[in-house]
């Protein structure tokens, strides 16, 4: 048996639903609003997104090439068996045999593969003008 609702109760429920919906929209708009001109928009290139993406984010060869600033052939050469294990980019193959890379693994690999070059000679910091003055 259905409950009998008076017009007053019906109007009250509808008004309450409007208020709740309005508040929910207010809260959501704060979270999903477009960035204002002063804010940093979300990164647009994979070169930036690689560092902000969730570690499990999957990239293809094209995205990784963009992120690393390398060619696709360079990516393929760093995943083949002819590449030494220490230099090989961590990857897996999907069901269709395509290379897949995880953003977190790529970030770790970059940190491990990074070579820091330090100048041991103080003269390396001398500018071209300083060298000209010394030779004159």
4 found inside a domain? no
Structure tokens given for 2? 């259905």
- Whether residue 121 is predicted with pLDDT greater than 60 in this model: the reply is yes
CATH code of 56's domain? 1.10.10
The count of domains in the chain is 1
Half-sphere exposure (Cβ direction) of 111: Cα atoms closer than 13 Å: 7
10 found inside a domain? no
What is the domain range of residue 107? 46-113
Rounded to two decimals, what is the model's pTM?
0.55
CA dist 106 and 91 (Å) reads 9
106 found inside a domain? yes
pLDDT digits (tens, 9 = 90+) for 25-76: 877 766 665 555 566 666 578 888 999 899 999 999 999 999 999 999 999 9
């Amino acid at each position: 048996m259905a409950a009998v609702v008076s017009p007053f109760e019906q109007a009250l429920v509808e008004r309450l639903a409007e208020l709740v919906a309005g508040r929910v929209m207010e809260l959501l708009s704060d979270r999903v609003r477009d960035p204002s001109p002063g804010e940093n928009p979300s990164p647009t290139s994979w070169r930036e997104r690689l560092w902000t993406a969730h570690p499990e984010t999957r990239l293809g060869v094209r995205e990784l090439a963009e992120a690393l600033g390398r060619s696709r052939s360079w990516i393929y050469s760093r995943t083949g068996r002819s590449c030494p294990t220490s230099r090989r980019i961590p990857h897996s193959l999907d069901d269709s045999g395509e290379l897949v890379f995880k953003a977190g693994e790529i970030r770790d690999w970059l940190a491990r593969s990074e070579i820091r070059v330090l100048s041991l000679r103080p003269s390396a910091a001398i500018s071209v003008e300083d060298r000209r003055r010394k030779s004159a």
